[in-house]
Amino acid sequence: MYTTELQKTATIENLEDPKLLDAFEARVAADDFIEPKDWMPEAYRRTLTRQISQHAHSEIVGMLPEGNWITRAPSLRRKAILLAKVQDEAGHGLYLYCAAETLGTSREEMVEALHSGKAKYSTIFNYPTLTWADIGAIGWLVDGAAIMNQVPLQRTSYGPYARAMVRICKEESFHQRQGYEIMIAMANGSPEQKRMAQDALDRWWWPSLMMFGPPDENSPNTAQSMRWRIKRETNDELRQKFVDITVPQAEFLGLKVPDPDLEWNEEKGGYDFGDIDWEEFYAVVRGEGPVAKERMKARREAWDEGAWVREAAAAHEAKRKQRKAA
Ligand code: FAQ
């Protein structure tokens, strides 16, 4: 109902009146939050719907690589923590779908876009989790990269997205720590455990750097998104910060970052690092990632198998409304 109302408003106001546009731009420039019923340019609405829904899809698809290890976690403590983490990711997906719905697209439409391959989700979740050390590496590197990207989004210009990010960032910070704690245990364990930790770092390092998106000069959306304060830092700025924070953490673990060109650059006060394989990135974006097909199959099956839950919830709601009206 709310969604339909918003859609109507969007069509009526889609005239891009210069006065409205100027007022909108001034509010954004003053760091005001834009709220669902405020006027906004159609391109702003579209960009946000794309980014927030893709973010939501990433959280939901992102449950799969770790979900794969819940039954094989090495202790009850590890199992309970991993279960809680994977549930948190589901929660993040839900807040984000709700935030995106306030822009006028229904959850069903967004899910359909994911299942038909029209909408993207983060490349990182198209890689397999081969050993328990991968669970450590995901928490440390993938959640670490996610936090780096998401902390600035707490100040994104769209209110519902910014507010969703506050809670998500708190939880992601716990996720990063649990991953790093696994890495500490593995890196200080038996030679075989240390070898597994190094192998996980070797496989997850470059895909984690790709999470930040293409280099700024090849990023079609960054300039406008920075102007509208949807993005607060560019892909390259965030990637650099991530490298600078993470390399010392690898050193503390006694592990080697798999980049022969990695070198501290005193002048820029950050690390220089080797070339990212952008061919691989674009192939994964096109749906050619190592486990892309399995990921989409699992999501479609989950959606189909959950149909009865959605139907039951809708029937319950209809009955509740009927009783209230009577
Ligand atoms: N994967 O012009 P840009 C997580 C696409 S959550 C796939 O730079 P933009 C939590 C991009 O969509 C991880 N596609 O685009 C967790 C665009 O295509 P489009 C997700 C990518 O939007 C942890 C095209 O390339 N986080 O990990 C990727 O300005 C552990 C051109 O790119 C978010 O979504 C990619 N990596 O910047 C869960 C954060 N990068 O849509 C479970 C919010 C780029 O025009 C376990 N999103 N593309 O067809 C963002 O900050 C931005 O959307 C970027 C991309 C930075 C991802």
Q: In this predicted model, what pLDDT tens digit does every residue of 52-88 receive, in sequence order?
A: 999 999 999 999 999 999 999 999 999 999 999 999 9
The whole-chain average pLDDT of the chain stands at 94
pLDDT tens column, 3-23: 434 344 444 445 578 999 999
pLDDT of residue 93: 98
Whole-number Å distance, alpha carbon 51 to ligand 1 midpoint, is: 7
Please compute the mean of the pLDDT values over residues 27-53 and round it to a whole number: 97
pLDDT per position as a tens digit, 169-180: 999 999 999 999
Choose which residue among 47, 49, 51, 228 to substitute to test ligand 1 binding: the one with the highest number of ligand atoms within 8 A of its C-beta. Answer: 51
pTM exceeds cut of 0.85: yes
Q: Which atom of ligand 1 is nearest to the CA of 145?
A: 27
- Per-residue pLDDT for 214 more than 60? yes
Span from the CA of 285 to the centroid of ligand 1 (angstroms) = 10
**CA gap 292, 125 in Å, rounded:** 8
222 lines ligand 1 (CB under 6 A): yes
Q: What atom of ligand 1 comes closest to residue 212's alpha carbon?
A: 56
Sequence-ordered list of residues with C-beta below 8 angstroms from that of 16, at least 6 positions apart, any chain: 41, 42
Which amino acid residue places its CA nearest to atom 46 of ligand 1?
A: 62
Task: Name the residue among 219, 207, 216, 220 with its Cα closest to residue 281.
Answer: 207
Q: Could you give the percent of the chain with pLDDT greater than 70?
A: 95
**pLDDT at residue 233 tops 50:** yes
Q: For residue range 119-172, what is the model confidence (pLDDT) as tens digits?
A: 999 999 999 999 999 999 999 999 999 999 999 999 999 999 999 999 999 999
Calculate how far, in angstroms, residue 212's C-alpha sits from the geometric centre of ligand 1.
7
**What's the burial of 170, exposed, middle or buried (CB within 10 Å: 0-12/13-18/19+)?**
exposed
Question: Considering only CA atoms, which residue is closest to atom 22 of ligand 1?
Answer: 51
The pair phi, psi for residue 68, each rounded to 5°, is: -55, -20
pLDDT at 150: 97
Nearest CA to ligand 1 atom 52: 51
Interval between CA 122 and ligand 1 midpoint (Å)? 6
Q: Where are the alpha helices (DSSP H) in the chain?
A: 2-12, 18-29, 42-61, 63-67, 76-101, 107-115, 132-137, 144-150, 159-187, 191-210, 222-227, 235-253, 278-283, 292-305, 307-325
What pLDDT is stored for residue 16 in this prediction?
77
Mutate to test the pocket of ligand 1, among 49, 63, 120, 206 (most ligand atoms within 8 A of CB): 120
Residue pLDDT, tens place only, 243-296: 999 999 999 999 999 999 999 999 999 999 999 999 999 999 999 999 999 999
60 lines ligand 1 (CB under 6 A): no
Q: CB of 53 closer than 6 A to ligand 1?
A: no
pLDDT of res. 11? 45
